[in-house]
Chains A and B, each alone.
Chain A
Amino acid sequence: MQPADRTSERRAWMGELAKASCDDLETAWNALPEKPDWQWLRKPETGLVMVRGRAGGTGGAFNLGEMTVTRCALTIDAGTTGYGYVAGRNARHAELAAVFDALLQSPHGPDLKKTLLEPLAETRSKTERRKQAKAAATRVEFFTMVRGED
């Protein structure tokens, strides 16, 4: 696999881990047959990221306001580094995201993609679909009244 593909694959799973609920990650962690040891490179730390918008949606960037973000970094026993960057202040969420980021780069990766990433993506798309369905029911269906015989 090309390094660019590897990066885009990693970006995708880091996003999936950040958007997953901490409970779902905890369940996946508990289901792991063998759990790796890890050493902290950076313990979970909560800070701020400034969210930006664009004037008119497409124009010059401006600072909208900050959001809380928790990050951490660790290495698993095989020497692979994992990072967690997740919205909010949940240290455990960042920790699990980082462990799974490391595991997904390890020889366990291919298995985890099936047992972890696919169900997470499915859960997210189901929730999303449900929300979309409720919004879709509020779409206005215009109709025109026709008066008279002709």
Chain B
Amino acid sequence: MYVAVKGGERAIENAHRLLDEERRGDPEIPEVTLDQIAGQLGLAVDRVMTEGSLHDRELAALAIKQARGDLIEAIFLLRAYRTTLPRFGYAEPIETADMSIQRRISATYKDLPGGQVLGPTFDYTHRLLDFQLAADGGTHPEPAAEAEPSDAPVPRVVDILNHEGLIEEERPEPAEASVGDLTRDPLTFPAGRDLRLQNLARGDEGFLLALGYSTQRGYGRTHPFAGEIRLGDVTVEFEPEELGFPVEIGEIAVTECQMINQFQGSAEVPPQFSRGYGLTFGHCERKAMAMALVDRSLRCREFGEEAGSPAQDEEFVLSHSDNVQSTGFVEHLKLPHYVDFQSELELVRKMRAAIDTPMKSAAE
């Protein structure tokens, strides 16, 4: 069936103009700047960088502004932008043990080398709206307190447990060249831990949060403890081909979560703790924790655990974690489906006619 598809151009153009006007809002009110977004809505920027899978604060701030604060739309914009740039190569893996610590807490040890450093956290706030922030004259918070920093090393909590041999060890793979990359090759199943972690790192925070929560409520229990959460700057090293040696190209902030989970042991392995891992750009603590929970859940086969819950179903989790893919398929339902719908309409009419005809003849 022929369906006229012309005629929408002017409406679309005007819709975009209306969008621009709505984005700007009341022209009497100063326009928000990228510096303001990057500086004052920093956690939104961190989330967009993490799930947009591109570390660039300024671009993430621009995406948030353009998307009118719709973070999934902003993530979409960042993902689209990255396709316009050439890939120079792969960095050396970051060394989170050498992190310049801004926050580091452990729920498994009270006293530990390096201590519990709370950093800039919402924890222990009362979650009461602060009307001082609503004041027109701007806020001038008291300067943050300072104390003599310690130069003592801040070892990973899991490494402390490791000395006792009570937790599984994480060792590098022998062939690092073959690390899977979802941006190059489509995902296939079963997926290795490298691909799972990459998928989870760029996965939707809400989706992973719900899955992580489901494991706590009994859908595939993993008995987790937050062994350690750390936030801070790490150096990124990259080896340009023409130089033949790695150079530091900059520093980025990351959040790391090490979950410690129970493991009963098996015929080959004595009882010991197992691990789940979460890593994000910037300060995305909830995401890092949820990622670590789901990472551990997806390792159920490795530990010979019964796997019947959603968070243990690799294909289900990894196929639905990406919010750009999800939004694309859900939102495509808005696009014209006139022809499809016409054929469905014809079908339903025919079916109704088939039912109505015998009923009529029976009544006569």
Q: Is the CB of B247 within 8 A of A18?
A: yes
> CA A54 – CA B215 in complex, angstroms?
24
A69 CA / B101 CA spacing, docked (Å): 24
Residues in A with CB closer than 8 Å to B89 are 49-50
Asked if B246 contacts A60 (CB within 8 A), the reply is no
- In the bound assembly, the distance between CA atoms of A124 and B324 in angstroms comes to 38
| Smallest CB gap from B193: residue in A | A55
Contact B248 A18 (CB under 8 A): yes
Question: Does A129 reach chain B (CB closer than 8 Å)?
Answer: yes
B307 within 8 A of A: no
In the complex, the chain B residue whose C-beta lies closest to that of A101 is B247
Is A49 within 8 A of B173, CB to CB? Answer: no
A47 CB contact (under 8 Å) in B87, B169, B254, B275: B87
Is the pair B101, A135 in contact by a Cβ cutoff of 8 Å? yes
Whether A64 pairs with B279 at a CB distance below 8 angstroms is yes
Please tell me if the beta carbons of A140 and B179 are within 8 angstroms of each other in the complex: no
Q: Report whether B193 and A68 are in contact in the complex, using a CB–CB cutoff of 8 Å.
A: no
A135 touches B117 (CB 8 A): yes
Bound complex: CA of A131 vs CA of B195, how far in Å?
34
* Assembled-state Cα–Cα distance A102/B97 (Å): 33
Asked, given contacts A19-B251, A52-B94, whether A63 binds B198 with beta carbons under 8 Å apart, the answer is: yes
CA distance A46 to B89 in the complex (A): 13
**CB closest chain-A residue, reference B231:** A135
- Contacts of B90 on A, CB cut-off 8 Å? 49-50, 52, 63
User: Is B158 positioned at the interface, with any CB of A under 8 Å from its CB?
Assistant: yes
A47 CB, nearest partner CB in chain B, Å: 4
A39→B79 CA distance, assembly (Å): 35
With A57-B156, A131-B100, A140-B115 as contacts: A65 and B50 at CB distance below 8 Å = yes
Cβ-closest chain A residue relative to B162: A58
Bound form: Cα–Cα A87–B56 in Å: 9
User: Which residue of chain A has its CB nearest to the CB of B101?
Assistant: A135
B248 near A57 with CB under 8 A, answer no
Q: Which of B148, B194, B250 contacts A62 (CB 8 A)?
A: B194
Query: What CA separation (Å) do A65 and B182 show in the bound complex?
Result: 10
Specify which of B149, B150, B193 lies most central, judged by the most chain A CB atoms within 10 Å of its CB: B149
Chain B residues whose CB sits within 8 angstroms of the CB of A63 once the complex forms? 90, 179-183, 194, 198, 201
Give A110-128 interface residues, CB cut-off 8 Å to B.
Answer: 128
Number of B residues near A (Cβ < 8 Å) is 82
Q: Which of B247-289 contact A (CB under 8 A)?
A: 247-252, 254, 256, 258, 275, 277, 279, 281
User: Is A11 part of the contact surface with B, judged by Cβ < 8 Å?
Assistant: yes
- Please report whether the interface of chain B is mostly helix, strand, loop or mixed according to DSSP: mixed
A54 to B277, CA, bound (A): 9
Pairwise interchain contact B252-A55, C-beta atoms closer than 8 A:
no
Q: Are B248 and A14 in touch, CB under 8 angstroms?
A: yes
Cβ-neighbour of A136 out of B59, B96, B117 (below 8 A): B117
Which A residues are in CB contact (< 8 Å) with B128? none
Q: Do B242 and A56 touch across chains, with their CB atoms under 8 A apart?
A: no
- Asked if B252 and A56 sit within 8 Å, CB to CB, the answer is no
Select the stretch in B20-28, B129-137, B139-147 that faces chain A: B139-147
Q: Nearest Cβ in chain A — how far from B195, in angstroms? A: 8
Whether A68 lies near B158 (C-beta < 8 A) is: no
How far is it, in angstroms, between the C-alpha of A19 and the C-alpha of B236 when the chains are bound? 10
Contacts of A130 in B (CB 8 A): 146
Q: Does B103 contact A (CB under 8 A)?
A: yes
Q: Restricting to A92-112, which residues have a CB under 8 Å from any CB of B?
A: none
Question: Min CB distance, A145 to chain B, in Å?
Answer: 15
- Flag if B88 contacts A56 (CB, 8 Å): no
CB distance from A147 to the nearest CB of B (A): 19
A65–B247 touching, CB < 8 Å = no
Does the CB pair B236–A67 fall under 8 Å?
A: yes
B346 lies within 8 A of chain A by Cβ: no
Given known A-B contacts A11-B247, A61-B176, A63-B179, A51 and B117 have beta carbons under 8 A apart:
no
State whether A15 and B248 are in contact (beta carbons under 8 Å apart), knowing that A57-B256, A65-B54, A68-B56 are contacts in the complex: yes
Q: Which of A15, A66, A86 has the most CB of B within 10 A?
A: A66
| B214 interface hit (Cβ, 8 Å) | no
10 A-B pairs with least C-beta separation: A87-B250, A59-B170, A15-B248, A56-B170, A132-B149, A67-B55, A65-B53, A133-B146, A137-B145, A60-B173
Residues of chain A having any CB pair with chain B under 8 Å? 7, 10-11, 14-15, 18-19, 45-69, 71, 73, 83, 85-89, 128-140, 142
20 contacts between A and B (CB under 8 A): A11-B245, A18-B247, A47-B87, A48-B82, A48-B87, A51-B281, A53-B197, A55-B194, A58-B159, A59-B172, A60-B172, A61-B173, A63-B90, A64-B201, A66-B53, A87-B236, A133-B149, A135-B119, A136-B148, A137-B147
